[in-house]
Amino acid sequence: MTAYAGWYNLYISPAPRHRVPTPAFVKLEEKDEVDATEVSQALRKCSNNSAPGPDQVPYGVWKRIHTVNRHVIPKLINHLLSWSIHPPSLKDSLGILLPKPAKGDYDAFASYRVIALMQTFSKIAERIINQRLIKFAKLNGLYLLRQTGSLPQRATFDAGISLKHWVQEAQAAASLKASTMFLDIKGGFDNVDHSTLLRRLQTKNVPSYMVKWISNFISYRQCAIIFPGSPRVMKGINTGILQGSPLSPILFGIYVEPLHDCIDPSREFTSDSWNPIVVRV
């Protein structure tokens, strides 16, 4: 009983740090329940050498637990989904500062990217929801095929090869010169608006249990920035989605999907017909 209480107190805070709506239990349909196979698939992608989050529990612990009893982790995750909660203790993360390349002034905070080291159990749950959301998004058109990166068979390498192909086609067509314009969304993950993201998920008919859990997952987070001599003081984060979360890339892809509406696909360049891409501003 003492050991159980220790695990319970570690992952379920007795008193919330923030005033949050009281969760309501909704039993998952059988088809929506997480099973041992999904957990095994998620754990296979988790390296024992990955740095753990604030609780310092490595993936090897969860792999050992799953080997001994394949029902423990699925049951824990199903409870999170049924209650539509992600406990506050699982939301704590450590922010590692990584310098961005080719920045002139490394005394400025903007010259660094913050990568979140999250609790390992949290990332197992995130990987499972991530795979489910990617599958749903692909079947229901939540992202366009022009979107690349962190998607099945849609690597950023494909974008580079496509760009090279289009440039070569443009150069071969009537001896035209080709120019490329790159646009960067500054602080993309950091500036995701939660209400807009959740509204987008709801309008796209993402299963309600996923939307409710994601809503809790991205809210009321805390992160401590780590650097030599840092006090490791947790500070609240009430906007954006975390760099380092397996779930963030697909959420961001869905979030920016309407930007593709600015491009008229019927006017993209092909060697058969030269039509410039038109961007409506």
pLDDT (tens place) for every residue of the chain, 281 residues total: 444 444 334 343 444 444 555 667 888 999 999 999 999 999 999 999 998 999 999 999 999 999 999 999 999 999 999 999 999 989 999 988 888 888 878 888 778 888 889 999 999 999 999 999 999 998 998 887 777 777 777 778 888 888 888 888 877 776 667 777 777 777 788 889 999 999 999 999 999 999 999 999 999 888 888 887 888 888 888 889 988 899 999 999 899 888 776 666 555 544 444 444 433 33
Q: What is the pLDDT of residue 9?
A: 43
Contact 129, 84 (CB under 8 A): no
CA distance 8 to 87: 11
Q: What is the pLDDT of residue 79?
A: 94
Q: What is the pLDDT of residue 19?
A: 52
Tell me the HSE value of 170 on the side-chain side, using a 13 A CA sphere.
Answer: 16
Nearest to residue 224, comparing CAs of 91, 98, 82, 108?
Answer: 91
Tell me the HSE value of 94 on the side-chain side, using a 13 A CA sphere.
Answer: 15
Q: What is the pLDDT of residue 277?
A: 44
